[in-house]
Structure 1
Amino acid sequence: MNKTIEILKNRRSYRDFDENHVVSKEELQVILEAARQAPSWMNGQFYSIIVIQDKKLREQLVQWNPGNPHMLKSSVFLLFVGDLHRTKMVSEVHGSSYSLDESIEPIILATTDAALALENAVIASESLGLGSVVVGSIRKYGKEISQLLELPEYTFPLFGLSVGKPIVEMEVKPRLPESAVIHYDKYHPYSYLLIEQYNQTMEDFGEARETKAWSQKFADYFATAPSMVTDQLLQLQKLMK
């Protein structure tokens, strides 16, 4: 197995980092360059990455997200932002209309590009002997974060990435059975038994953070009235009507 495949297959999330470990400027630059080389639709690169170095800013993020103290304790914290402000400037220079709120497509483009850049950053970090964890809960405070970091219109914070030197070893988390995820030529129905088996797999795995069966967790999640925080932010940033 080559080194790249080994890193991909053994990737796991780390949440406990050595607070004294310093990621060098050269290592950070490698991570950022790898992120920027991710695939992008039409080479649009509809995202920005904010390297949050100021301790007070990171402390504020943890105040809003107390369940993620690693945002402060990690060596590096990166914020990935869907960025359609750049192409707004392009449209203005070219005298073109810019009706982003007519379709969800631009939001999908920006989210996809940012996610691809994020994954490149994750793998680059792993290749340097570092660990990382993706932080999706920042969207709960998207409006506040946008104001804190002075994000312009047509941008929206998507997810963060804490990077550092792990101090607690983590096991590779089992994934859903392949036959429930991978399909050839068309979507193939599968037995719910596969999900029940996965519930048991995760129970046997015994991750302390999990207090419910996998299926119950998502049954509860999607039964709850959806938060409109992201919708409201997108409206505020002129990305949704």
Structure 2
Amino acid sequence: MNKTIEILKNRRSYRDFDENHAISKEELQAILDAARQAPSWMNGQFYSIIVLQQKELREQLVQWNPGNPHIAKSSVFLVFIGDLHRTKMVSTAHETLYPIDESIEPILLATTDAALALENAVIAVESLGLGSVVVGSIRKHGKEISQLLNLPEYTFPLFGLSIGKPTVEMEIKPRLPEPTVIHYDRYQSYAYTLIEQYNQIMEAFGEARETKPWSQKFADYFETKPTMMTDQLLQCQRLLK
């Protein structure tokens, strides 16, 4: 099998890292270079990456995310930022208007670009024989993180990435049945029994972190009234009215 496809198909999340393992400068640079080469709409590159090196900063993030101690224990932690501050600078230099808060489109562009850069980083990490885990829960403290990291207006934290040498081997997590995700030419309806089957597959997989069937987890998640924290942060950062 093609080596790149093999890495992609065998990717998994790791949460236990060797605290004494240091990533070399060359490895870190290779990961960052790979991230920056990701696809980007119109080559806009609407994101930034913050490499958290200070121990105190990472420990503060763990205080806000106690369920993710690997933020401090991994070899390196990256924070991916949706960055529309750069294009604000461009608009100011060209003396043009910047009505960025009139549509959600710029936020989608920045989020997509950051996600693509994140995935490139994840695969680069795997190719180096290291492991990683994406941390989306940092959005729960987006306002505090924005202040901690001195983020300017028109930026917003999206997700983090813990990178290190795994100490616990993880199994490849089963994905949803292909017919529920892959469609040809048009969206195809499928029987709900496929989702019920996936509940059984995940139950047999037996991931300790999962306390509910897959379908129940997301039924409960989307039933809960949104906290609006991200909306409020985007308003503070002048990205939403």
> Which TM-score band applies after superposition, normalised by the shorter structure?
over 0.9
What's 1:165 paired with? Answer: 165
SS at match of 1:212: coil
Alignment partners' CA distance in 1, 2:77 and 2:70: 9
Return the alpha-carbon distance in structure 2 between the equivalents of residues 227 and 71 of structure 1.
24
In the TM superposition, what whole-angstrom CA distance separates every residue of 1:207-234 from its partner, at most 9, and x where no partner exists?
A: 0000000000000000000111000000
- Give distance in 1, aligned partners of 2:81 and 2:199: 34
- Once the two structures are superposed, residues 142-168 of structure 1 have per-residue CA deviations (whole angstroms, 9 ceiling, x without a partner) of 000000000000000000000000000
For 1:227 and 1:99, the matched residues in 2 are separated by 26
Alignment match, 2:187: 187
Question: What code does the residue aligned with 2:91 have?
Answer: S
Residue type at the aligned position of 2:93: V
Q: Which amino acid aligns with 1:148?
A: L
CA distance in structure 1 between the partners assigned to 2:227 and 2:40 by the alignment: 29
Structure 2 CA distance for aligned equivalents of residues 63 and 124 of structure 1: 28
Question: Which runs of 5 or more residues in structure 1 are unaligned?
Answer: none
Distance 1:53 1:2 in 2: 35
Counterpart Cα distance in 1 of 2:187 and 2:88: 38
In structure 2, the residue matched to 1:226 is: 226
Q: Who is 1:240 aligned against? A: 240
Structure 2 residues not aligned, in runs of 5+: none
Equivalence for 2:34: 34
Q: Which amino acid aligns with 1:120?
A: N
TM-score, normalised to structure 1, is: 1.00
Distance in 2 (CA, whole Å) between partners of 1:186 and 1:227 is 35
**Identical counterparts, % of pairs:** 83
The correspondence of residues 108-187 of structure 1 with structure 2, limited to 5 A, is 108-187=108-187
Residue in structure 1 matched with residue 67 of structure 2 by the alignment: 67
Question: What amino acid sits opposite 1:101 in the alignment?
Answer: D
In the alignment, what sits opposite 2:19? 19
Q: Could you tell me which residue of structure 2 aligns to residue 202 of structure 1?
A: 202
AA aligned to 2:106 is P
Counterpart of 1:227 in 2: which secondary structure?
coil
SS of 1:129's equivalent in the other structure is: coil
Aligned length, in residue pairs: 241
Secondary structure of the equivalent of 1:160? strand
Q: Aligned equivalents of 2:227 and 2:97: distance in 1?
A: 31
Deviation at 1:25, TM superposition (A): 0.3
Q: Partner of 1:12: helix, strand, or coil?
A: coil
Partner of residue 98, structure 2: 98
* RMSD between superposed Cα atoms in Å: 0.3
The CA distance in 2 between the partners of 1:154 and 1:98, in whole Å, is: 11
The aligned residue for residue 82 of structure 1 is 82
Q: Distance in 2 between matches of 1:28 and 1:3?
A: 21
1:80 aligned counterpart, secondary structure: strand
Q: What is the identity, as a one-letter code, of the residue corresponding to 1:118?
A: L
The C-alpha deviation readout for 1:53-83, integer Å capped at 9, x for no partner, is 0000000000000000000000010000000
1:43 maps to 43
Q: Name the CA distance, whole Å, in 2 between partners of 1:113 and 1:11.
A: 21
Give the secondary-structure state (helix, strand or coil) at the position aligned to 1:150: coil
Paired residue type of 1:195:
I
Q: 1:133 Cα deviation (Å)?
A: 0.1
**Deviation of residue 2 (structure 1)?**
1.2
TM norm structure 2: 1.00
Partner Cα separation in structure 1 for residue 172 and residue 162 of structure 2: 18
